[in-house]
Amino acid sequence: MLENLYTTTRRRGGVAKILRLQAELDMWARSLPGGASSATAGDGSLESNTANDGAMAPTEASFEHSFLKVVLCIATIQVHRPALSFTSPDPQSTTSLHISKRASATLVKILAAGLEPADSESHLEGLLLSLLYPSGAHMLWQAGLTLLYAHWKLRLAVQSNADSSISSEPEDNETVQRCVLALRRLGDLTAEADSGHRLGQCADVLDMLRDKTFPQHLGTDNVTQEASAPRLVDGWDQVSWNVWDWPMESVLEFTNSMDVAPLDFFNSPGLT
C-alpha cells in the first residue's frame, strides 16, 4: 500500500496517492472495533475525539484494541509524511501536517499511557505496544518531534499570513512532555545502562526543543507568546518546503554525501 508512495522512481502524483491511501485508511478504520477511526480523521479537520481515546490505559482498552489504534496512527503518519517532503509548497502539505500532528498526538497518548507506572501486567502490555512493529522507540520520539515540527511550520505560516490556524499550545506542550516522560520511562524499563542513556539523550533533545518551542510563561497575551516563539531568520523563505536546502551541519554527513541527489530523483516518467 505504501510502496507507491515511498517508491524512489515515481515521485510525482504524491497528492493523489496520499488522498487515495487516506481514503483506504478511513475505510479500514471504520471496520475496526471500538470506534478507533476517531483517532485520525482523514478530512483534515482539527476537531478530534481523541481526548479520551489516548488516555485509556491498556488494561482499560484491550491490548488488541490499543495495538490496532497504534497501527492506524502509524499508518496515517506514514501516509502523510511524504507530503512534508514536497519540494514545492502545496496545500496538501499543510493538510498532511495537521493530520500527522493529530495522529502523532494520539500515538503519544496511547504509548505513554501504556508506559506509565502501573502493575507488572500493564507494564508488559505497555512495553509490547511500544516495541511491536510498526511501533518502536523511534516512532514515539518522532511523534513528539512531529508535534514540535508542526508548531514551527504553522507558527511561521501565521507570521506570513499564509495560514491563520494554529493548534492549542498548552495541550501540545503537555503531550510532548508526556512523550519525554514515556521515553525516559522506556529507558528505565529496559534497564540497560546504555539503552537508558540513549533514550535519555533522545528525550533530552525533545525536552530542549519543547522548551524552546513553547514559552514557559504562556499567557493570553499574544505579544508575549510571539516574542518568545522562534522567529524567522533574515532572508529565509517563510514557506520553504524545499527539501534540498540541507542544513549546514548534520551527523548524517559522516557517511552520506549530503549534496548528492539520488539518480532516480529525475527518472520519474510522470503521473502514475
Partner 1 sequence: MSTQCSPCVSAGVVCIRSAKLQRNRKRKSFYENEGIEQRRTTTTSQTQGHSPSNPFPLQQDVSTSGTSVSPSNTIPELRPASATRSQTTGGRSHVSASGRKPTSEPIIGHMGRLVNDDQGVAMFAGTTTGVHFVSQAEQQVQMLRMNSAHSQFPSCVYSLHLHDLWGYTSRPPSDSESIRSIVSSLPLDAEAILLAAIERWTPIYPIMHKTTTIQAFRALVDESTPLTGESIVVLHQVLGLLALGSLGYQGHCTRDHYHFLCLSETHYSTSATILDKVLERPCLQTLQSLEIMQIYLQVSSRNTMASHFGGIATRLAQSLGLHRHSHRFRFDPLETELRRRVWWCQYSLDTYVFGIALDKLMLTIKLGSQAHTTACPVLFGTKMLTQTCPRALTTIYSPGPTLPFLCLVKAHR
Q: Does residue 227 bind partner 1 (CB under 8 A)?
A: no
Q: Specify the residue, 57 or 205, whose C-beta has the smaller distance to partner 1.
A: 205
Select from 162, 166, 139 the least CA-distant residue to 151: 166
Site for partner 1 contains 266 (CB under 8 A): yes
Cell readout for 214 is 513553547
Binding residues for partner 1, rule CB under 8 A, total 87
Is residue 162 involved in binding partner 1 (CB under 8 A)?
Answer: no
Which of 171, 237 has the CB closer to partner 1?
237
Give yes or no for residue 237 binding partner 1 (CB under 8 A).
Answer: yes
CB of 216 to partner 1, least distance (A): 15
C-alpha cell at 113: 499511557
Contacts of 74 (CB under 8 A, 6+ apart): 103, 107, 134, 135, 139
Residue 23 CB, nearest approach to partner 1 (Å): 19
In terms of CB distance, is 131 or 218 closer to partner 1?
131
Contact status, residue 129 vs residue 74, Cβ threshold 8 Å: no
Residue ranges in 175-194 that form contacts with partner 1 under rule CB under 8 A:
186, 190, 192-194
Told to check if 223 binds partner 1 by CB under 8 A, we report no
* Cβ neighbours of 57 (radius 10 Å): 17
Q: Which stretch binds partner 1 (CB under 8 A): 25-33, 163-171, 219-227, 245-253?
A: 245-253
Question: Contact 126/114 with Cβ under 8 angstroms?
Answer: yes
- Binding to partner 1 in span 85-124, by CB under 8 A: 85-90, 92-93
Q: Which stretch binds partner 1 (CB under 8 A): 21-29, 43-51, 163-171, 246-254?
A: 246-254
Q: Does 81 bind partner 1 (CB under 8 A)?
A: yes
Sequence-distant (≥ 6) Cβ neighbours of residue 261 within 8 angstroms:
244
Angle between helices 169-190 and 91-115 in degrees, nearest 10: 50
Query: Helix crossing, 120-131 with 91-115: angle to 10°?
Result: 150
Comparing CB distances to partner 1, the nearer of 30 and 231 is 231
Residues 18-77 close enough to bind partner 1 by CB under 8 A:
none
Q: Closest distance between partner 1 and the C-beta of residue 25, in Å?
A: 16
Binding residue (CB under 8 A) for partner 1 from 99, 145, 157, 179: 145
Q: Is 228 in the site for partner 1 (CB under 8 A)?
A: no
Residue 161 is a binding residue for partner 1 (CB under 8 A): no
Task: Rounding to the nearest 10 degrees, give the CA dihedral for residues 113, 116, 117, 119.
Answer: 40
Out of 121, 171, 226, 264, the residue judged to bind partner 1 by CB under 8 A: 264
H or E element at residue 67: helix 63-80
Alpha carbon distance 255, 234 (integer Å)? 31
Q: At 76, list the grid cell.
A: 496515517
Question: Under the criterion CB under 8 A, does residue 218 sit at the interface with partner 1?
Answer: no
